[in-house]
Amino acid sequence: MNNLNKVLNRVFNSQQSGLVIIILAIGFILSLFAGSHADHLTGRTVNNFLNSYTLMQTATDASFFAIMAIGATVVIISGGIDLSVGSIYALSGIAMAMFLRSAGAMPPAATLALGLAISLGVGIACGLLNGFMITGLKVHPFIITLGTMWIFRGIAFVASKAESILVPDSLTAVTKAQFLGPALYPVPMLIMLAVMILGVVYLSKTVMGRYVYAVGGNAEASRYAGLRLNRVLLGVYLISGLTAGIAAFVGTSYYGSASCADATGYELYVIASAVVGGASLTGGKGSALSAMLGAILIILIRQSIRTLHLDQNYEWIIIGCAIIVAVVMDRLNANLTARRILMESARVKEEEKEKN
């Protein structure tokens, strides 16, 4: 019984419990007010939101943001920021589509391997370029990634000549594989879950992950402790570029084409997902699981507006309010924690005085 209570306390006191409760609450509200329709196959009455097709599409929409949000969260934990993830997505997708088009007909396995290698390679190269400029030029990450955001998208525009480039059907066949039922495409969701698990393992179970938290918590103390800050920062921007490349491969394959306009504005959704998920913009706090839950919450907000037939312009207002509330709550929580530590320290000193 005591073990059960400990588990329940750990679950409800965890950083993710609040997000899960909010997500379930929004899902419940949508289920109540979304209405229903007759299924064209079975003729049964089906809830417009609470059905396998809508839930799978919601998970699919969230997956593209969530994969990049996990990488962006690693950057934010280190105390940095990456505004170029949307542009890396576009450039990775364009590069993959152009290379595959020039390569011509190939076996499906070779097409899949080459497309994945190109997309991930471009993403890693862009992430390393961000990291090298930030560590080498000693310029704030906001400025560097703001510049590369325009550079990467400009390269994608020039290279593609603003054309939409189709990718081979063999890629779409993989990302739209139907093995849970007709018209259900779980591959993007499964990739999102796999990236999340890898992110959790990296941040919580590896030495480099602990270094990321240390650098974000106190860079100067980390330097005096002997950590190589430049190596850590290069690593986090490489991971951010890598996740953008993964998202580009999944998204481009899923939709069947790449365009230089792809992922325009994604950086805002990605950062919003990380912040709403509890990542602190001052560094030292965040998790891959929370980033994924934050992305799902952002997508549910969009889904709510569409399902309830509200004005689409409210989407930006609600998401903006969510970001502000999340940052304010994080600050209040940090202040309360600091006050609690001071009070505990004062209590311990008082007890030591009484003993003496």
- Judged by phi (left if over 0) then psi (alpha if -120 to 50, else beta), residue 141 lies in alpha
Residue 154 pLDDT > 90:
yes
Averaged pLDDT for residues 25-52: 79
* Token pair listed for 114: 């080459």
Quick check: 38 pLDDT over 90? no
pTM of the entire predicted model: 0.88
Helix (H, G, I), strand (E, B), or coil: what is residue 45? strand
Mean pLDDT to the nearest integer, 255-259: 93
Lowest mean pLDDT among 2-11, 97-106, 146-155, 279-288: 2-11
Helix 288-307 vs helix 266-276: angle between axes, to the nearest 10 degrees?
A: 120
Residue 142 lies in a domain: yes
Give the integer Cα–Cα distance in Å for 263 and 90. 6
Q: Which of 7-16, 172-181, 294-303 has the lowest mean pLDDT?
A: 7-16
Domain containing 135 equals 53-312
Distance, in Å, from the CA atom of 332 to the CA atom of 54, rounded to the nearest integer, reads 36
Within a domain: 18? no
Does residue 44 fall inside a structural domain?
A: no
Residue partners of 55: CB distance under 8 A and separation at least 6: 49
Q: Is the pLDDT of residue 356 over 70?
A: no
Supply the CATH number for residue 124's domain.
1.10.3470
Is 339 within the bounds of a domain? no
The reported pLDDT for the residue numbered 80 is 94
DSSP 208-272: HHHHHHHHHH-HHHHHHTT--HHHHHHHHHHHHHHHHHHHHHHHHHHHTEE-TTTTTTHHHHHHH
Other C-beta atoms lying within 10 Å of the C-beta of residue 128? 16
Which pair of structure tokens corresponds to residue 108?
A: 């499906």
Least confident of 97-101, 127-131, 339-343: 339-343
Q: Is 242 within a domain? A: yes
Q: Quick check: is 287 in a domain?
A: yes
Does 307 fall in a domain?
Answer: yes
Tally of domains within the chain: 1
Question: In this structure, are residues 46 and 37 in contact, taking their beta carbons and an 8 Å threshold?
Answer: yes
Model confidence at 181: pLDDT above 90: no
Q: Is 29 within the bounds of a domain?
A: no
Rounded to an integer, the average pLDDT of 70-75 is 95
